[in-house]
């Protein structure tokens, strides 16, 4: 049986909540992010700000240069979590099968919902109206037979939009879909495809599994299915994480170690924000950095530090730089997580473990 999946995505979530709470900001360019005097980074911004070219992950200083009237507000994650909980409560009145992706988006499986005559389109409309009336912000929604297409659809008529891909529309819709809409196809992969004349999913479909694997590695198998609109992943109600990370691909290579450190300062607030979104059952049990050189080689380094420490990230990056001081096009940082909700292996040697930890601190 074909699933009925809804992907709900809040429009400019942090900024929308701030504008809701401060009506004087309505109609003005607003962003939520860090201090421009301290290498702060934009977490999100509203559409009036986007009209000036302001974007998420942009430095706050650059955002102000593009839009001098931009209002930059410090993030209030406690408030955003409360608003997210309100929205999740609304979701639960329609279905128990919910997979939150972050504070501001989620998948819902309404295949078995008896509400609104089991019409996923009408359920999505009702959810959007309920959020608008009860929470005071807008959300966009996509309705489709699977998660991949539902997520694509939710972005189709943003902001405050609803887009539906019915089962009998999948083939035609996917055929015309640009490959850049496939999650995992970044700038470099898209450029590689464009050199072969591949711009839409229809262009990808003639390639066999073997050809896709030869050109795109392990991602090739997933490309084979996604370019046909196929995605059999269920909506997971108990999704737990093993790690969290952020990364940035740069239009101009980072050629000096000082460039790496500058971008590290921009990535740190983003990683902190992602960690803040997690529930209290996660503990950091290690830090990692990753770089992709301009020859596309990827290397990484790890540390067992259990606190989010910028000095540790700097140390790891310096290790990579000393190993190979070449320009990089991607920089990423992350944290490995211990999930206290998952079954834990008993510690058979607690005294030895404690002694090792004391020696490490010294």
Domains of the chain and CATH, by start: 14-76 (3.40.1170.60), 171-226 (1.10.150.20), 243-339 (3.30.1490.100)
Q: What's the rounded mean pLDDT across residues 91-103?
A: 93
The span from the CA of 301 to the CA of 316, in Å, is 6
* Residue 203 among known ligand-binding residues: no
pLDDT of 246-288, one tens digit each?
A: 988 887 889 999 999 999 999 999 999 888 878 777 889 999 9
In the annotation, is 105 catalytic? yes
Rg (CA), the chain: 22
* CB neighbours of residue 185 within 10 Å: 21
* pLDDT beyond 50 at 245: yes
pLDDT of 106-165, one tens digit each?
A: 999 999 999 999 999 999 999 999 999 999 999 999 999 999 999 999 999 999 999 999
CA angle 36-37-40, nearest 5°?
Answer: 40
pLDDT of 25-57, one tens digit each?
A: 999 999 999 888 877 889 899 999 999 999 988
The span from the CA of 43 to the CA of 14, in Å, is 8
Q: What's the rounded mean pLDDT across residues 303-325?
A: 92
* CB neighbours of residue 227 within 10 Å: 24
Mean pLDDT of the chain: 89
* Residue 302 among known ligand-binding residues: no
Provide the pLDDT confidence category of residue 239 given band limits of 50, 70 and 90: low
Contact in structure between 77 and 273 (CB atoms under 8 Å): yes
* pLDDT beyond 80 at 315: yes
* pLDDT beyond 70 at 18: yes
Backbone angles phi, psi at 202, to 5 degrees: -60, -35
Nearest to 13 by CA among 60, 61, 46: 46
Residues 6+ apart with CB under 8 A from 299: 290, 291, 293, 320, 323, 324
- Name the active-site residue from 18, 69, 99, 105: 105
Check the CA dihedral 350-352-355-360 and report its sign.
negative
């Amino acid at each position: 049986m074909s699933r009925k999946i809804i992907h709900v995505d809040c429009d400019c979530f942090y900024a929308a909540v701030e504008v809701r709470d401060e009506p004087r900001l309505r109609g003005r360019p607003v962003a939520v992010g860090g201090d421009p005097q301290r290498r702060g980074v934009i977490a999100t911004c509203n559409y009036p700000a986007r009209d000036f070219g302001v974007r998420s992950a942009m430095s706050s200083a650059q955002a102000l240069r593009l839009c001098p009237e931009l209002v930059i507000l410090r993030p209030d994650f406690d408030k955003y979590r409360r608003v997210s909980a309100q929205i999740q409560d609304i979701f639960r009145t329609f279905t128990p099968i919910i997979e939150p992706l972050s504070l501001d988006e989620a998948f819902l499986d309404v295949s078995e919902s008896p509400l609104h005559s089991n019409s996923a389109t009408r359920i999505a409309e009702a959810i959007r109206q309920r959020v608008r009336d009860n929470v005071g912000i807008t959300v966009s929604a996509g309705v489709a037979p699977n998660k991949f297409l539902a997520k694509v659809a939710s972005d189709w008529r943003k902001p405050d939009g609803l887009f539906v891909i019915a089962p009998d529309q999948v083939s035609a819709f996917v055929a015309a879909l640009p490959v850049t809409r496939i999650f995992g196809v970044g700038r470099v992969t898209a450029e590689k495809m464009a050199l072969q004349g591949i711009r839409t999913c229809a262009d990808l479909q003639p390639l066999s599994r073997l050809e896709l694997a030869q050109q795109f590695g392990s991602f090739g198998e997933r490309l084979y299915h996604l370019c046909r609109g196929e995605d059999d992943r269920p909506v997971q109600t108990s999704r737990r994480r093993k790690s969290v990370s952020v990364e940035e691909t740069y239009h101009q290579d980072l050629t000096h170690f000082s460039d790496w450190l500058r971008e590290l300062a921009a990535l740190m607030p983003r990683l902190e924000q992602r960690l803040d979104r997690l529930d209290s059952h996660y503990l950091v049990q290690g830090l990692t950095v990753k770089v992709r050189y301009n020859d596309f080689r990827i290397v990484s380094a790890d540390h067992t530090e259990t606190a989010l420490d910028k000095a540790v990230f700097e140390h790891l990056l310096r290790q990579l730089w000393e190993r190979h001081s070449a320009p990089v096009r991607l920089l990423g940082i992350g944290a490995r997580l211990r999930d206290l909700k998952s079954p834990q292996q008993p510690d058979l040697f607690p005294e030895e473990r404690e002694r090792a930890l004391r020696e490490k601190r010294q």
